[in-house]
Amino acid sequence: MTDKKSSAEDRKLVLEAKKTRKNSYAPYSNFKVGAALLARSGKVYTGANLENSSFGQTVCAERLALYKAVSDGEKDFKKIAIVAPGAEPVTPCGICRQALFEFAPQLEVLSVNLKGKVRKYTLRELLPYPFKYEKKKTKK
């Protein structure tokens, strides 16, 4: 984990995550999260958390950004910015870490709280032992 100065790229991603956070639908937790995912193509995909009265249907901001990107044909990602409230910048939940790992094991993670406190991680740091599915060889 580092808290180094932000680059122009970081600032752009944080701005996008902040804007998207406004679209969060979180009437149950009131914990609004925005994410901006930078694809290797250069395009940025955003997501906000989306809750439901059937709580288990809730989708985190990070996964929504990822799913939007993948369904648009992106499969390779460089960095994700996450903006959320709280004293400390929020890191992706376990499910999101595994979901992001599927496409971007080398992903950089930029976490920012509403006071502008920044933390930088690598997904590798956050998910040191990811689940990997080994396909069985099919019998011929």
Judged by the rule CB under 6 A, the positions of this chain that interact with ligand THU are 26, 29, 31, 33, 49, 51, 58, 60-62, 82, 90, 92-93, 96
Tokens of 62: 């990070």
Q: Which of 62, 74, 125, 134 is catalytic?
A: 62
Task: Give the CA angle between residues 126, 129, 134 to the nearest 5°.
Answer: 135
Least Å from the CB of residue 139 to ligand THU: 42
Q: Which is nearer to ligand THU, 46 or 49 (CB)?
A: 49
Q: Which is nearer to ligand THU, 86 or 116 (CB)?
A: 86
| 62 catalytic residue (yes or no) | yes
Residue 75 to residue 66: CA distance in whole angstroms = 9
Asked if 64 contacts 26 with a C-beta cutoff of 8 angstroms, the reply is no
Tokens of 85: 């409230």
Q: Provide the annotated active-site residues.
A: 62
